[in-house]
């Protein structure tokens, strides 16, 4: 485990990088059987957000520490599809504060389809050496290639 090197004045220490991510979970209306039991897209989006938040809280990801989950943002609706087949889809935003041992550890969250925004909270500035940048870019390539492979295998 390589921690990020943080320079404060003339002193270099090892530490973590803190991020805030926004993930927007998508859901469509679920129709019930015989006019009963249908769920609106808003209710479905809320359920998906709660389920995914539980997974993130309980399934460890190497190098990441989940510090805070904020599900207080309102669910929003979007009309998707072409002119003949418009459907209303709900998105439930979730703000996640996470600490990473190094930049590479955050890639699995950035490659998720729900990922919308990232904000670096700590440290204030980061300096990357040439070899570290090469390793980081190669790691990004490997993760992206694996994600494309996973997408191709899905039905």
Q: What is the pLDDT of residue 73?
A: 93
Q: Are 11 and 5 in contact (CB under 8 A)?
A: no
pLDDT-flagged residues of the chain (< 50): 1
- Structural domain that includes position 49: 4-153
Q: What is the pLDDT of residue 1?
A: 41
Q: What is the pLDDT of residue 104?
A: 84
Phi, psi for 139 (deg, rounded to 5): -65, -40
How many structural domains is the chain composed of? 1
Dist CA 36 CA 34 (whole Å):
6
Dist CA 109 CA 112 (whole Å):
5
Q: What is the pLDDT of residue 143?
A: 82
Q: What is the pLDDT of residue 11?
A: 62
Predicted model pTM: 0.75
């Amino acid at each position: 485990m390589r921690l990020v090197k943080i320079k404060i004045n003339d002193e270099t220490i090892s530490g973590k990088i803190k991020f805030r991510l926004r993930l927007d979970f998508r859901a469509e209306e679920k129709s019930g059987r015989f006019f009963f039991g249908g769920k609106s897209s808003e209710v479905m989006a809320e359920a998906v957000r709660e389920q995914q938040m539980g997974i993130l809280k309980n399934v460890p990801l190497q190098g990441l520490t989940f510090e805070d989950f904020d599900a207080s943002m309102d669910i929003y609706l979007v009309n998707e599809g072409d002119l003949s087949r418009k459907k209303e889809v709900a998105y439930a935003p979730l703000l996640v504060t996470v600490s990473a041992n190094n930049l590479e550890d955050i890639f699995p969250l950035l490659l998720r389809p729900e990922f919308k925004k990232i904000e670096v909270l700590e440290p204030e500035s980061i300096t990357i050496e040439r070899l570290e940048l090469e390793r980081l870019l190669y790691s990004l390539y490997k993760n992206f290639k694996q994600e494309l492979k996973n997408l191709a295998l899905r039905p």
